[in-house]
Amino acid sequence: MTTEREKLYLLDGSSYIYRAYFAIRHLSSPTGFPTNALYGFTQMLLKVMKDHAPAHVAVVFDAGKHTFRNELFPAYKATRSAMPDDLVPQLGPIKEMVRAFNIPALELSGFEADDIIGTIARQCEAKGLDCVVVTGDKDLMQIVSGHVTLLDTMKDKVTGIPEVHEKFGVAPERVVDVLALWGDASDNIPGVPGIGEVTAKKLIQEFGSLDELLSRAGEVKGKNSEKLVEFADQARLCRTLATIDCQVPIAYTMEELSVSAPDTKKLAELFRAYGFTTLMKELTSSATLSCEEYHVVLEEEELCTLAAELKKAGAFAIDLETTSLNPMEARIVGFAVSHKEHQAWYIPVGHRYLGAPEQLTETAVFEYLGPLLIDPGIRKIGQNLKYDYQVLRRAGVKLEGIWLDTMLAAYLENPGRSSQGLDALALQYLDHRMISYNEVAGNGKEQLNFSEVDLDRAGPYSCEDADATYLLHEILLPKVEEQGMSELLFKTEMPLLEILAEMELTGVKIDLDLMRELSTGFGKELVELEARIHELAGGPFNINSPKQLGEMLFERLMLPVGKKTKGKTGWSTNVEELERLAVEHEVARLLLMYRSISKLKSTYTDALPRLVEAETGRIHTSYNQAVTNTGRLSSSDPNLQNIPIRSEAGRDIRRAFVAEPGSLLLAADYSQIELRVLAHLSEDRVFCEAFAAGEDIHRRTAAEVFGMFPELVSAEQRRQAKVINFGVIYGQGAFSLAKELGVTPKLAKAFIDNYFERHSGARAFLDGCVREAEIAGFVRTILGRRLPIPDITSKNGNIRAFAQRNAVNYPIQGSAADIIKEAMIKVTRRMWAEGVKSRLIMQVHDELVFEVPLAERELMAELVRCEMEGALPLRVPLKVDLNFGTNWSEAH
């Protein structure tokens, strides 16, 4: 019986730093510090520790550029590019991260990481240990032996002696002989001129070694014989440069390399500082909230006492447990409340499992809690309160006194946070890992509905939600106040919550017959397009396979070569590439049509009918108030923001959004709101005068750019001016503007220069936005919304340029979002005051859509125009285009 040998894992830190950097192109902390290499390296470290659980481990780094090889050959590694600017500052934190894991970090001045690895690997063998070198560097194949292997965690590949033979055609000890001939471009080792990889391998296989080859160079056929004689000394030097020094004077003991528990406190600090929320949850978080004061309420007397306490407190956090995440289907299972730190109560009403205790009825609970829930004088705190509002509304209780949603407060404080969920917020602000739903309900197919979870688990879980929410509101509210956004929170975001909740509950009616008809039509069109594409391609292939599509375009049809995919494994066939080809090749144009129609069919005409609620006969999208970086609303399940408006197919889909019999749809769309916002914020004289005079701003811009009278501007020139106007808002440069206009970059630059010469106020404002972002790290909107631009000082030019474009765009787009939200609030409050039956049913970009009874048509036209155009006082007038129709398309 053989005893398994002890193993030491040596991680090639220097190699993995670069691999991590290039594998994750951009990542930064909340403060804008680059973290792509740090995060990738940390993940690699975790993968090794998790998958292999080594007993001994060390990470090895290079200790500077100058080594003994530079003394032998000054040009060694001289051709290497300088380390990327945004990688340099990550080196220190990477080593700090290694130390926080309590893993030794080894380096020695004058020697490369490879030399340290080779030395320790050989010493391991001598001590009867195995050594696993975690690396992706082929040069280390020379140290492979029966007890030294390489492990590439990114490819899950182990390299032993057979794999070295497969790669180099020789044994590990002869790898340096091959490299001596072949050279190594990455290290600027020249090798023998004219001898490449294949020849080098063949020669060493034939002659057995470099020395034998050089001594018998005359036996080599052709010009290589002369080259081997001429460059014999260079080949020997190259072998020395490529040879790993396994006699490095580095001191260590195996005990020092033994694995010990990581410093979780230090790791938590690092994860928090660099925004590694997921890693915090997985590795360093723990339950820090005490559950000693969590109570499950089963008796009416206890509920009566609790209700009195809540009333006296004047504010409490509430969280509902339900049977579904869909508010249109959810039934209440229980109520969790908290009005004191570290105290919470769970009142179950719908737990149904074998042995479940008798619980209070929903009716009984509403008897005591109902008056509190509908009392506007008692403040309600919640996490994603919109959901609780909707569930209660459908249960017959209209929640009043909606005061603070911790999700929205957290969103205002940092809109760029990857998650505004309770788990993430508790982790960040309370240093507490919440009990997960899976922990109480199970996973996968075996997962229980919450109504089936026993109260021993449901009680602490639910109480914790309420407790954490209450604690978070005490932390987040001062942060919002400190950033000057209290008014934005309480006068805009919180009032909007109820409006969105009601709008979602109302939903929008869909013409199912028309949807089915459209779906059938799209299906037939796809079949026809596929046949035509196959005909042009010279035979059938799978249109939905990027690999087969690339082969068809660039190998079979020999179209102009495009770029490779990210992994360099095939041709890119994305929209950008197809648009490039479509200029001259019909097959690419048809492929774009095929993709567009296929997406419309799968996303809308096939999917929307399945989302119609049986109870209401309408679809009920979810408006997300805490997702985008700019404050704009987004929608999901279904996403109504992405239905194309300019294409005929998109207009057909909008025809299926219809009004109920006896009503019309009213579409109210802000006209050029972002340009009006720019005019207001910049006080640009030309813009302000044009809008005040009611001019067509795009025609005016065309006249300025092209130097002609407005009445002579053609439709195409107006279109180009529109592209220029909005290009300015989005920080578009000459190159991208040229591409969109179909002109030369030089001409596009002339357009931009001419534009800013006329609009000096706009230019000064946009430049000021960039300066503000560089100084403060954020920009602001009309209502004071802070929009972080963390990458504005990035050392990476491309990332910094993108951040500069955001610094220009965010204040404008964010201010437009402020205006549409204010409009929704003012319109809705006026509708409530007027007591109309009309309902706000959709918000899409700068447009509000209402369902209006015929009798209220004139009233609503006046009401909507008045409130939307007066949403916020601007230096230029807001203008709204109003249109009625029996369907959404007709209302445009």
pLDDT of 570: 63
pLDDT of 567: 43
Dist CA 581 CA 533 (whole Å): 14
Query: What are 789-842's pLDDT values in tens digits?
Result: 999 998 888 889 999 999 999 999 999 999 999 999 999 999 999 999 999 999
Average pLDDT of 543-547?
86
Tokens of 568: 């360099």
Query: What are 150-191's pLDDT values in tens digits?
Result: 999 888 899 999 999 998 889 999 999 988 888 888 788 888
Across 538-602, where does the E strand assignment appear? none
Across 341-436, where does the E strand assignment appear? 343-348, 379-382, 402-405
DSSP 601: I
- What are φ and ψ of residue 147, in 5° steps? -125, 5
DSSP 235: H
Amino acid at 810: Y
613: alpha, beta or left, given left = phi > 0 and alpha = psi -120 to 50?
beta
Q: Which residues contact 374 (CB under 8 A, 6 or more apart)?
A: 397, 398, 399, 400
CA 68, distance to chain mean position in Å, is 45
Query: What are 736-771's pLDDT values in tens digits?
Result: 888 888 888 898 888 888 888 889 999 999 999 999
Domains in the chain: ranges and CATH: 7-242 (3.40.50.1010), 285-483 (3.30.420.10)
Q: 3-state DSSP: the chain helix, strand, coil percent, rounded to 5? A: 55, 15, 35
- What are φ and ψ of residue 339, in 5° steps? -130, 5
Given a cut of 50, is residue 566 above it in pLDDT? Answer: no
Query: What are 597-651's pLDDT values in tens digits?
Result: 999 999 999 999 999 998 899 999 999 999 999 999 999 989 988 887 778 888 9
Amino acid at 324: S
Query: What are 241-259's pLDDT values in tens digits?
Result: 888 999 999 888 888 999 9
Amino acid at 739: K
On whether the CB atoms of residues 155 and 145 are closer than 8 A, the answer is no
On whether the CB atoms of residues 591 and 562 are closer than 8 A, the answer is no
Residue 708 to residues 103, 687, 691, 717, 756, Cα–Cα distance (Å): 71, 18, 19, 11, 17
Polymer length in residues for the chain: 892
Query: What are 93-140's pLDDT values in tens digits?
Result: 999 999 999 999 999 988 889 999 999 999 998 888 999 999 988 889
Tokens of 67: 């080594």
pLDDT exceeding 90 applies to what percent of the chain? 61
- What are φ and ψ of residue 840, in 5° steps? -80, 125
Average pLDDT of 185-201?
85
Closest among 608, 605, 632, 629 to 620, alpha carbons compared: 608
Peptide bond into 30 cis (omega under 30): no
Given a cut of 80, is residue 32 above it in pLDDT? Answer: yes
1 band by pLDDT with thresholds 50, 70 and 90: very low
Looking up tokens 């009616």 gives: 509
pLDDT exceeding 70 applies to what percent of the chain? 98
- What are φ and ψ of residue 64, in 5° steps? 100, 170
DSSP string, 52-64: H--SEEEEE----
pLDDT of 137: 86
Positive or negative, the CA dihedral 129, 135, 140, 146 is positive
* 148 C-beta neighbours (distance < 10 Å), count: 26
Closest among 105, 410, 427 to 268, alpha carbons compared: 427
| β-strand partners of 842 | 849
Average pLDDT of 407-422?
94
Given a cut of 70, is residue 50 above it in pLDDT? Answer: yes
**Alpha helices in 483-574, H assignment, sequence order:** 486-488, 494-506, 512-537, 546-551
Given a cut of 70, is residue 569 above it in pLDDT? Answer: no
DSSP-derived pairing of the beta strands 56-60 and 7-12: parallel
pTM, rounded to two decimals: 0.85
Given a cut of 70, is residue 3 above it in pLDDT? Answer: no
